[in-house]
Amino acid sequence: FVNKKRKIIESFLGIKHVKETTSEALKTSVVEVLGEHGLHISNLRGQGYDGASNMRGEFNGLQKLICDENPYAFYVHCFAHQLQLVVVFISRCCSSIEDFFEYVHLIVNTTSSSCKRKDLLLDKQRKILL
């Protein structure tokens, strides 16, 4: 947000668990989180997401749904994700570096799966225990 001195202030608002990852469900969650902090989507001026189609999709993605409501909320591809793409591209020149990043990638994906996958796993575990 921009404070009264016209200085840009960035604050972490929180993490919200979502069961659905459709762009509509994600927009609802974003609006809810903003509302919890007294913020409104009409004041949003920037959006940054990874390259997933439900996030960046130009026809049905989250960024499009928000831009439909607020054309001043410009979308920029997440810089951290862009950096990851560069590291992956460059690591392909050396097989040992490529192997290292592939192992890191597999470990991270295995240990920090999506909320949706985690919910499915927990449901299956509950059924086994009953």
- 115, with CB counted inside 10 A (0-12, 13-18, 19+), is middle
Q: How far is CA 21 from the centre of its chain?
A: 10
Q: What is the pTM of this model?
A: 0.59
The predicted structure's pLDDT at residue 103: 87
Per-residue pLDDT of the chain (130 residues; tens, 9 = 90+): 778 998 888 888 888 989 999 999 999 999 999 999 999 999 888 888 777 778 887 888 899 999 999 999 988 877 676 677 777 787 778 888 888 888 888 877 765 667 777 787 778 888 988 8
Q: Using an 8 Å Cβ cutoff, are 53 and 26 in contact? A: no
> Domain extents for the chain?
1-93, 94-129
